[in-house]
Each structure stands twice: as C-alpha cells, then as structure tokens.
C-alpha cells in the first residue's frame, strides 16, 4: 500500500474510529436529520462538533459543506471539501473526485478545483476526463507551467499526442527553467519515431539537470534510436545510477552495435542480475502489501481486535505500526495508539504525515 494510503486510512480509522464507538453515530444521525429538515444552523453546529473530535469522518465533512451551502455560504462550503479531497488524492482518488466535483458545483469559477478534479482523474486513469478538467482549469485562469504540463500528459494519454506536443513546445519556448517541458517533448518525439528531432530537446534538458537519471536515460535511448553511437550516453546513465536495469540493457545493446561483444555480454549479465533481484524485491513487496491490505480490510469490517493482532505480527515498519495504531484507536486504546505512532516516527523521522496524525490523535483526546 502506498505511504499516503496508509496515512489517509489511518486518519479515517484512527482519528474518527468507528462512528458508533464513542456515541458519534447518534451525533451524526442528529446532524443529518437537521440537515434534511433544513435546520442548517443546527446541522452546521452538529457537524462541526463531530469534526472537533473526529476530523477524519468523511460524512461529517460532506454534511458540513451541505449545511454551509444551505445557509448561502457556497465558498465556505467548498473550502471544507477541498483540503479533504487533496488529502485523499492518492489513497482514495474516487472519493477525492467526488468531493472535488461537489466543491466545483459550489464554486464553478475556481480553477484550482478544476485542477483538483483533473488530478483525481489522472490517478483514476480517466485521461479524457482529466484533459477536460485540466483544460477548464487553464481556461479559468490557471496559466502555471505545471498545470500545462499535466494537461499535455493527459492529452497524450488520451490519444492526442499532437495536442500534447503543441503544449510541450509552447511551454518549452516560454517558461521552462528546468527544461521539464523540453524533456517531455523529447520523450514524445522519440516515442513518435522522431528521435533525431528529439535530441536537441533532450540535450537541453540534460544540460539543465545533469544529475537527473531519467533525463540521461531518455537522451541515451533517443541517441540509439536515431542511429547514433550511444555507448557513452549509456555509460553516463549507469555511472549515475548503477542499479538502472534499463541503463545496463541499453549499454549492452549499444556495445553490441559497436561490435564490442565481450563488453556487451558483461553489461547484459549485470542487467540480468539486477532484473532477478528486482523480481525478488517485487515478490516480497507484494506479499507485504497483501498483509497490510488484509489488516485494513479487517478494520473496515470492524474486526478491530483481529486487525490489531494481525498488524502486530508483521515486521515493524511505519505502515504496519500505523495500522496497529488505527486498530488500537478503534478499540479505544488511545495511549497505545499514540505510542505506536511514536514508534513509527522513530523508524522514519521524516514522516511529517504521521507526525500530524499523532498530533490530531492527541488533540482529539479520545
């Protein structure tokens, strides 16, 4: 499970816990009844009270937004939904998209909400919809290069490489200090069978970012595809990134083209060893992910005790400890949950997401 997925699931399960565990189900039902009856001020107060103790309760965020909209405050309603959608982009993009669309209905002229919907569609691999949303963001005034690059990538994925090329060329010719657009344009041209045309753009990107391994690899590939000697380019790739399987494979082929069979065989052997090692890592990662997913499934089924035992048996990692903490919180063991999050942070002190989660847990007090 991706790191962000763990954090967001922990936010929902650990902070909010099962809604009925601490009387929150009754409070939620009352607030929803007030909302249905048009008692928007009472509903707002109820949903805010819930979020004060359970900030991960999605239904409370939705209800608060509807209450504010009912009171004639659409901008504030959208502002409730936007950060929640942002937080859920990686872990639950379908929910992020739903919340983004709710917010857009409230504030249709906001380019950042169109951008947010587009980003969610990208994660859902709905590239045509992503391109439409990102184009709307640009139309509404988001002229940042990053948004244009996202739109170009979505156009390419949606089967319109010509539109993507036009955007990449425009950004590359205007505001592209790190040559990101030049890099992507070079990749597209190489993919389109125009490797010789791609080379100047990739060389520009390589000069701008000499330590970027992906740029160096794409330049080497384009040079080889253009029929040029790419041995030196691939040697730079593997010097920068000794674990680059693609780099060693490309070097082996380039050496073979040059006629250096023994050197090519050595490079190919290095590639094969890296390939086998990667397969083993992927196998282990898949097993670990399956175990983590099993724990979260138990939590979703409200089998917190089983989930707690399951996570506790896994090898200690920030992800497994976050899961164990979520289960402990669901069982009402707040102090244990806090201790587990502190252990997770000790394993990875750079995890600001878990640090925020720990602070929210302590602030909730329950």
Per-domain boundaries in the chain: 1-108, 109-175, 177-228, 302-356
How far from 112 is each of 141, 172, 313, CA to CA, in Å? 9, 23, 43
Q: Are the CB atoms for 119 and 97 separated by under 8 Å? A: no
Helices 352-364 and 334-347: crossing angle in degrees, nearest 10, is 160
Q: Are the CB atoms for 21 and 31 separated by under 8 Å? A: no
How far from 27 is each of 71, 84, 225, 333, CA to CA, in Å? 20, 21, 64, 22
Start-to-end CA distance of the chain, whole Å, equals 27
Write down the architecture of domain 109-175 according to CATH. Answer: Alpha Horseshoe (1.25)
Helices 74-87 and 93-106: crossing angle in degrees, nearest 10, is 160
Please give the chain's pLDDT, 366 residues, in tens.
344 444 444 444 444 444 444 577 899 999 999 999 999 999 999 999 999 888 878 999 999 999 999 999 999 999 999 999 999 998 889 999 999 999 999 999 999 999 999 999 999 999 999 999 999 999 999 999 999 999 999 999 999 999 999 999 999 998 777 799 999 999 999 999 999 999 999 999 999 999 999 999 999 999 999 999 999 999 999 999 999 999 999 999 999 999 999 999 999 999 999 999 999 999 999 999 999 999 999 988 989 999 999 999 999 999 999 999 999 998 989 899 999 999 999 999 988 888 888 888 887 665
Q: Is 52 exposed, middle or buried (0-12, 13-18, 19+ CB in 10 A)?
A: exposed
Q: Is 47 in a helix, a strand, or coil? A: helix
The answer to whether 1-108 and 109-175 have equal CATH topology is yes
pLDDT digits (tens, 9 = 90+) for 134-190: 999 999 999 999 999 999 999 999 999 999 999 999 999 987 777 999 999 999 999
> DSSP string of 302-343?
T-HHHHHHHHHHSPP-HHHHHHHHHHHHHTT-HHHHHHHHHH
Q: What angle do CA 35, 37, 40 make, to 5 degrees?
A: 45
Scored b (16 or more CB within 10 A) or e, 227-262 reads eeebbebbbbbbeebeebbbbbbbbbbbbeeeeeee
Is the pTM value of this prediction over 0.85?
A: no
46 vs 57: CA distance, rounded Å: 13
Distance from CA of residue 340 to its chain's centroid? Answer: 25
- Give the CATH fold of the 1-108 domain: 1.25.40
pLDDT digits (tens, 9 = 90+) for 240-287: 999 999 999 999 999 999 999 999 999 999 999 999 999 999 999 999
């Amino acid at each position: 499970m991706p790191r962000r997925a763990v954090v967001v699931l922990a936010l929902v399960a650990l902070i909010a816990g099962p809604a009925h565990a601490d009387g929150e189900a009754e409070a939620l039902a009352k607030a929803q009844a007030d909302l249905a009856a048009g008692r928007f001020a009472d509903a707002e107060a109820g949903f805010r009270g819930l979020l004060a103790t359970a900030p991960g309760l999605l239904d409370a965020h939705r209800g608060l937004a509807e209450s504010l909209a009912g009171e004639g405050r659409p901008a504030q309603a959208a502002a409730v939904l936007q950060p929640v959608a942002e937080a859920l982009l990686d872990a639950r993009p379908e929910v992020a998209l739903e919340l983004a669309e709710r917010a857009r209905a409230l504030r249709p002229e906001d380019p950042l909400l169109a951008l947010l919907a587009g980003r969610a569609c990208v994660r859902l691999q709905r590239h045509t919809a992503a391109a439409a949303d990102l184009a709307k963001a640009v139309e509404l005034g988001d002229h940042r290069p990053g948004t244009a690059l996202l739109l170009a990538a979505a156009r390419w994925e949606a089967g319109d490489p010509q539109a993507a090329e036009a955007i990449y060329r425009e950004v590359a010719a205007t505001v592209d200090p790190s040559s990101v657009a030049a890099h992507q344009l070079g990749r597209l041209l190489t993919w389109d069978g125009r490797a010789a045309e791609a080379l100047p753009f990739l060389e520009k990107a390589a000069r701008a970012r000499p330590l970027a391994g992906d740029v160096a690899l794409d330049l080497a590939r384009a040079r080889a595809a253009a029929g040029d000697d790419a041995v030196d380019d691939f040697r730079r790739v593997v010097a920068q990134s000794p674990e680059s399987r693609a780099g060693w494979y490309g070097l082996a082929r380039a050496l073979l083209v040059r006629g250096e069979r023994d050197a090519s065989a050595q490079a190919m052997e290095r590639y094969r060893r890296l390939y086998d090692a990667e397969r083993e890592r992927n196998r282990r990662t898949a097993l670990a992910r399956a175990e983590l997913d099993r724990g979260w499934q138990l939590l979703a089924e409200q089998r917190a005790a089983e989930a707690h035992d399951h996570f506790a048996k896994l090898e200690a990692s920030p992800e497994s400890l976050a899961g164990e903490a979520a289960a402990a919180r669901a069982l009402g063991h707040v102090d244990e949950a806090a201790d587990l999050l502190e252990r997770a942070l000790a394993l990875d002190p750079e995890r600001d997401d878990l640090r925020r989660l720990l602070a929210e847990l302590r602030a909730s007090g329950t």
